């Protein structure tokens, strides 16, 4: 097999049409954010019940330039193309060869950009050290901060480009990328700028999030009022600077016992919202810390991790799900797995309570060094007891909603971005079923073939 990643240069390039034919299944994810029993509804069109992949009733997807034109039976799609006045002969056939078609995967929680690596912590944890214990002794996030501050823009961009290539090869077409390894204004701005530029470069769309409140940096730790002084630095110096730069779409805080309290997180996220950065948060990753409750209270776009939320926190997210401001629960099972944690996110409880669930990699050098969303789907099935269909929803339409992109990405519907993956398996249940296998055959981003492993 030859894998060809054809990245870069999407701006200014106009693809013409593609007609994706020969799929055994097309999971359209049409119909918006999913919750409760609908979490597992992937709005699938299958060829077998339409007379086989060669039949005029078999499902196809048509894209024109950067958008989806139509999805449905070949007959209906050709009619729709004609109805739009588009030239059918300029739609190049793309043969899925009996594979499965899904929207491009959306990874709504990554720490894409950092210097260095932390493989040493794996050994420390195997010998019994705790995550927060390693952080308190100056390791963990703080060791990545030292390496990141020492890295220039070029080095960070080269690192980001390489990992984005990995993500693309695993079927991811849109990501969120947090800062949070600079922890001073200049370094945070550098991370946000590089994330923004990598998104412009393409083909993956990159949405930058400001995470200045990821940890208290070493220069503040030596002060008796260190945490509070750093929170004031975030509020008075970093947030205005980040707002003036204009790159960050979201603001995030590591709301966790021993890191930032719910009260400190609220002050930061409310100030950020006033600057136009929508709130999302690291909520109750390790211990119940009021993160889920805060996410519901401030109408966060998403509450992430939820490895150990309180019952009240789950109830608050369930109430939010019934309101006009549903908070997406973004679960990160690769992290609990890699930390060998004794808690995992209560995915079944959340789904049964009607909370919309998304999945992300949490790609970072300490607790989840994997760029692979398919691996995350496997871990969600095995450790969170989500069904394969629920995981696919979580990695597409619900993840897009967690990023405020529900009307652009995460589903195959007319008008949405033409972001899709052809998987070399005959049904979507096999995507999490072969962990570690390379199942991506073709990736299309904004109507262009950007990975071709056929």
Q: Does 291 bind ligand IZC (CB under 6 A)?
A: no
Q: Does 364 bind ligand IZC (CB under 6 A)?
A: yes
Residues 6 or more apart whose CB falls under 8 angstroms from that of 47 comprise 23, 24, 25, 53, 55, 58, 59
CA dist 452 and 169 (Å) reads 9
Q: How far is the CB of 115 from ligand IZC (least distance, A)?
A: 12
Residue identified by tokens 């939320």 is 309
- Report the alpha-carbon angle 58-64-69, nearest 5: 50
Q: Does 282 bind ligand IZC (CB under 6 A)?
A: yes
Residues 6 or more apart whose CB falls under 8 angstroms from that of 162 comprise none
Q: Does 107 bind Zn ion (CB under 5 A)?
A: no
Given the complex with ligand IZC, which of 104 and 290 has the nearer CB atom?
Answer: 290
The H-or-E segment that residue 389 falls in is helix 388-394
Given the complex with Zn ion, which of 25 and 285 has the nearer CB atom?
Answer: 285
Residue 196 token pair: 């923004």
Q: Does 360 bind ligand IZC (CB under 6 A)?
A: no
Given the complex with Zn ion, which of 395 and 425 has the nearer CB atom?
Answer: 395
Q: Does 252 bind ligand IZC (CB under 6 A)?
A: no
Considering only 90-98, 199-207, 309-317, 363-371, which stretch makes contact with ligand IZC by CB under 6 A?
Answer: 363-371
Q: What is the largest CA-CA distance in the chain?
A: 73
Q: Does 362 bind Zn ion (CB under 5 A)?
A: yes
Phi (first) and psi of residue 46, to 5 degrees: -120, 145
Q: How far is the CB of 131 from ligand IZC (least distance, A)?
A: 7
Q: Is 415 exposed, middle or buried (0-12, 13-18, 19+ CB in 10 A)?
A: exposed
Q: How many residues does the chain have?
A: 454
Given the complex with ligand IZC, which of 169 and 211 has the nearer CB atom?
Answer: 211
Q: Does 144 bind ligand IZC (CB under 6 A)?
A: yes
Q: If contact means CB under 5 to 8 A according to the sort of partner, which of ligand IZC, Zn ion, none does residue 34 touch?
A: none
Phi (first) and psi of residue 285, to 5 degrees: -65, -45
Q: Does 139 bind ligand IZC (CB under 6 A)?
A: no
Given the complex with ligand IZC, which of 366 and 388 has the nearer CB atom?
Answer: 366
Q: Does 285 bind ligand IZC (CB under 6 A)?
A: yes
Q: Does 182 bind ligand IZC (CB under 6 A)?
A: no
- Contact yes or no for 153/425 (Cβ under 8 A): no
Q: If contact means CB under 5 to 8 A according to the sort of partner, which of Zn ion, ligand IZC, none does residue 254 touch?
A: ligand IZC
CA dist 449 and 353 (Å) reads 39
Q: How far is the CB of 221 from ligand IZC (least distance, A)?
A: 16
Considering only 2-10, 59-67, 139-147, 235-243, which stretch makes contact with ligand IZC by CB under 6 A?
Answer: 139-147
Given the complex with ligand IZC, which of 210 and 254 has the nearer CB atom?
Answer: 254
Q: How far is the CB of 345 from ligand IZC (least distance, A)?
A: 14
**Closest to 61 in 3D by CA, of 430, 421, 427:** 421
Considering only 77-85, 154-162, 340-348, 359-367, which stretch makes contact with Zn ion by CB under 5 A?
Answer: 359-367
- Contact yes or no for 284/241 (Cβ under 8 A): no
For ligand IZC, the nearest residue by Cβ is: 366
The H-or-E segment that residue 163 falls in is helix 153-169
What's the order of all strands across the beta sheet hosting 105-107? 105-107, 172-178, 205-213, 250-255, 278-283, 302-305, 328-331, 357-359
What's the order of all strands across the beta sheet hosting 100-103? 4-5, 448-452, 440-445, 420-423, 100-103, 25-27, 44-46
Given the complex with ligand IZC, which of 173 and 238 has the nearer CB atom?
Answer: 238
- Contact yes or no for 374/100 (Cβ under 8 A): no
Q: Does 176 bind Zn ion (CB under 5 A)?
A: no
Q: Does 393 bind ligand IZC (CB under 6 A)?
A: no
Q: Does 140 bind ligand IZC (CB under 6 A)?
A: yes
Q: Does 108 bind ligand IZC (CB under 6 A)?
A: no
Q: Does 366 bind ligand IZC (CB under 6 A)?
A: yes
Q: If contact means CB under 5 to 8 A according to the sort of partner, which of Zn ion, ligand IZC, none does residue 367 touch?
A: ligand IZC
Q: Residue numbers of the site for ligand IZC (CB under 6 A)?
A: 111, 140-141, 144, 254, 282, 285, 364, 366-367
Interface residues with Zn ion (CB under 5 A)?
Answer: 362
């Amino acid at each position: 097999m030859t894998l060809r990643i054809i990245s870069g240069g999407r701006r200014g390039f106009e693809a013409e049409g593609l007609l994706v034919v020969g799929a055994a299944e097309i999971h359209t994810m049409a119909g918006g954010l999913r919750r409760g029993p609908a979490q597992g509804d992937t709005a699938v069109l299958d060829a077998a019940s339409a007379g086989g992949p060669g039949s005029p009733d078999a499902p196809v997807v048509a894209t024109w330039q950067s958008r989806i034109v139509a999805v449905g039976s070949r007959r209906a799609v050709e009619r729709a193309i004609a109805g739009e006045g588009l030239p059918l002969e300029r739609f190049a056939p793309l043969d899925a060869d009996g594979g499965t078609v899904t929207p491009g995967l959306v990874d709504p929680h990554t720490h894409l950009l950092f210097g260095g690596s932390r493989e040493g912590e794996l050994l420390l944890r195997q010998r019994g050290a705790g995550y927060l214990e390693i952080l308190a002794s100056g390791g963990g996030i703080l060791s990545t901060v030292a390496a990141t501050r020492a890295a220039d823009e070029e080095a960070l961009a080269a690192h980001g480009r390489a990992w984005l290539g990995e993500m693309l090869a695993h079927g991811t077409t849109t990501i969120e990328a947090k800062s949070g390894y600079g922890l001073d204004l200049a370094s945070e701005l550098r991370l946000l700028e590089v994330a923004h530029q990598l998104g412009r470069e393409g083909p993956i769309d990159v949405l930058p999030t400001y995470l200045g409140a990821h940890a208290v940096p070493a220069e503040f730790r030596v002060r008796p009022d260190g945490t509070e002084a750093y929170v004031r630095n975030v509020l008075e110096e970093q947030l205005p600077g980040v707002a003036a730069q204009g790159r960050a779409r979201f603001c995030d805080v590591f709301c966790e016992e021993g890191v930032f309290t719910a009260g400190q997180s609220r002050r930061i996220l409310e100030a950020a919202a006033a600057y136009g950065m929508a709130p999302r948060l690291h909520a109750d990753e390790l211990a119940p810390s009021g993160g889920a409750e805060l996410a519901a209270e401030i109408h966060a776009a998403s509450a992430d991790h939820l490895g150990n939320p309180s019952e009240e926190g789950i109830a608050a997210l369930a109430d939010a799900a019934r309101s006009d401001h549903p908070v997406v629960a973004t679960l990160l099972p690769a992290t609990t797995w890699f930390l060998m944690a004794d808690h995992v996110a209560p995915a079944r409880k959340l789904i049964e309570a009607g909370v919309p669930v998304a999945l992300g990699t949490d790609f970072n050098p300490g607790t989840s060094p994997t760029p692979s969303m398919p691996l995350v789907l496997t871990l969600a099935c095995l450790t969170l007891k989500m069904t394969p269909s629920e995981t696919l929803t979580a990695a597409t339409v619900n993840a897009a909603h967690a990023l405020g992109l529900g009307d652009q990405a995460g589903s195959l519907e007319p008008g949405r971005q033409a972001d899709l993956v052809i998987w070399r398996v005959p049904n979507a249940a096999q995507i999490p079923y072969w962990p570690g296998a390379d199942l991506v055959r073709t990736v299309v981003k904004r109507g262009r073939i950007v990975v071709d492993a056929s």
